[in-house]
Amino acid sequence: MRNRSLYKFGDKFYCLSSFNRYVYSMDKTGSTRLALICGGVYDSLNFTADKLVLIPNTLTTSNPNELKVYNAKSLAARALYGDWLGQSVYYTGARFVPEEGKGFYSTTESVSTVSNLPITVTKAFSRGSDFIVQTKYTNQLDSEILLRSYIVKVYLNGQLVAYDLNRMVGINMRVNDIETFTFVIAGSDVLTNFEVGDGDLSIEVVPTFDIVPPETKA
């Protein structure tokens, strides 16, 4: 494998490949894994306090301005601050609040399609043309898991009105762990204009994950 350069962030080293356009990570044990599929030709990557920035090779990439920015910890999101550019993304934690005077939806009942991975909606609301869904995941499985992807569906009076799917790059949840995620469904993925109070709102989240096998002691 041919590589352009090595980078360090936190307790991991990262390698940008010039051959297959992938970013690989290596932990302190020497274990390597595929961290990102770049989807383009990039000369370099840089880390800020909380972002990983891929800088394109302007001679070969189809779009010279295709700068990509990812959350440095989870390697989530795509393109340049995707929610600002009108793309659906997700964040760890909660970063948004409803606009003043606007209502929101919430439920303490699980909206997950997986019974042992309950997901509740702490707040869901519109913000401009986007729809924001803030959630809480609880791992009630008997095993540690790595979250891999999600599908979020929003229904109004039984009709699908907003929809997003995206991958999560191996976000770890131990048994009984709780994680919060905010899904930003961009206006382009909102199928019809609506507000929370327009009718009977419901949300479904379809998570996918890998089971982490328990460690065996020699």
Question: What does the alpha-carbon distance between residue 156 and residue 140 come to, in Å, rounded to a whole number?
Answer: 29
CA angle 207, 29, 27 (to 5 degrees): 50
Q: Which residue is it, tokens 């949300």?
A: 203
Reported as a single tens digit per residue, the pLDDT across 24-39 is 889 888 888 888 877 6
Reported as a single tens digit per residue, the pLDDT across 146-155 is 999 999 999 9
Question: Which residues, listed in sequence order, are joined to residue 7 by a DSSP beta bridge?
Answer: 14
pLDDT on residue 81: 47
Reported as a single tens digit per residue, the pLDDT across 150-175 is 999 999 999 999 999 888 867 899 99
Question: Per-residue confidence at 5, pLDDT binned at 50, 70, 90?
Answer: confident
pLDDT on residue 3: 54
Reported as a single tens digit per residue, the pLDDT across 74-101 is 776 544 444 444 567 787 777 678 888 8
- Are 151 and 205 spatial neighbours (Cβ–Cβ below 8 Å)? yes
> How is residue 174 annotated by DSSP?
-
Domains of the chain: 3-75 (2.40.10), 91-211 (2.60.40)
Reported as a single tens digit per residue, the pLDDT across 105-151 is 999 999 999 999 999 999 999 988 889 999 999 999 999 999 999 99
Question: Per-residue confidence at 67, pLDDT binned at 50, 70, 90?
Answer: low
